[in-house]
A and B are shown apart, each in its own frame.
Chain A
Amino acid sequence: MEKVIIFLAVGLFIGYRGLIPEKFRSLPGKITTVGLISLLVFMGAMLGGDATLMANIGTLGLQAFLLALAAIVGSVLLVFGVNRVGKMVAITRGNASKTSKTVSKAMNNTTCKGEGEV
């Protein structure tokens, strides 16, 4: 975990200071794509090569799968809901204080449907 923070910090420094020559500007994007695919293959192989995991996948697997799915659905829906409420609050506040900047920004972010629900 510390390693992740160090690598990220080094990357931020390199990117922010513009240490990558203009010619190789697209390099970081390519690195992440190739790296992502290999990471996923390696991780899949770790799971596939884990005999205990593969043996247990039938018995506990369905329960585990459903719990994971529910945790994901729960968190996505809650973020969606809070995000929506937050945008509505931004509109109400913006109208009250007449800060045109907030209003226009909030208006841009909100659909007609969202306003109808208020």
Chain B
Amino acid sequence: MTLLIVSSVLVGVFLGRFVLPSEVISWLDSFVSVALGILVLGVGIELGQSGDVLGKIRTLGWKLVWVPLVIGIGSIGGAVVMGRFLGLPFNESSAVGAGFGWYSLSGVLLTQIYRVDTGALAFLANVFREVLAIITIPIVAKFLGNLEAIAPGGATTMDVTLPLISKTTDEETTIIAFVTGAVLSAVVPILVPFFIGLVKIG
């Protein structure tokens, strides 16, 4: 599964870079939307077939609180530690980490309210987070555990990486992953401006 996932992404990058004409590239956004819609529909049907989802959410209670919280803290903490090694100021590394994989939003936010280069860094870092999540989720699920497998995806676990989590873990984890992704997505527009504003520019 992992090999198939990685090669799919690489084939895509190759096609986009060298094969597809630019008109086709501009349609890709809609293709992604349609594919995502179908996928999420499939995941929904699978979850629904597994029984009483609302009842399960009730029994999951505590996990739905701490999993998103801990993933958020771990993401920002990891980025800050790495930022120190790279010589980045705290506000920049924490804001990049607080993108949680939502590259379009974190990149645009930082470009607008801070600096273009930091925006580009946040965009790329969160693109990498999504791509690395796609690669690491199956590995983490296999060797560490299901809840741990939600962590790499960050905010993307409510859409792009949700089908992957549903394929490599179980129904309970898929529900936790969706809620986690939704919670983290909701706080990206709050946390990114908050962290970048912690230090005055210049």
Residues of A within 8 A of B (CB): 1, 3-4, 7-18, 20, 25, 28-29, 31-33, 35-50, 53-54, 56-57, 60-61, 63-80, 82-83, 86
Contact = CB atoms under 8 A, between A and B. Distances in A.
Interface of B: 4-5, 8-18, 20, 22, 25, 28-29, 31-33, 35-53, 66-67, 70-79, 81-83, 85-86, 88, 93, 96-97, 100, 117, 120-121, 123-129, 131-134, 136, 140, 144-145, 147-148, 150-152, 154, 158-160, 163-164, 166-167, 178, 185
A16 B3 CA distance: 33
B134 A40 contact: yes
Contacts of B22: 49
Given A7-B37, A70-B81, A42 B129 contact: no
A37 B33 CA distance: 14
Given A54-B17, A67-B125, A8 B12 contact: no
Nearest to A15: B48
Main secondary structure of the interface of A (DSSP, over half): helix
Given A10-B41, A74-B81, A76-B152, 13 more contacts: A11-B42, A14-B41, A15-B49, A32-B42, A41-B12, A42-B28, A45-B25, A46-B12, A48-B14, A53-B127, A68-B126, A70-B78, A75-B71
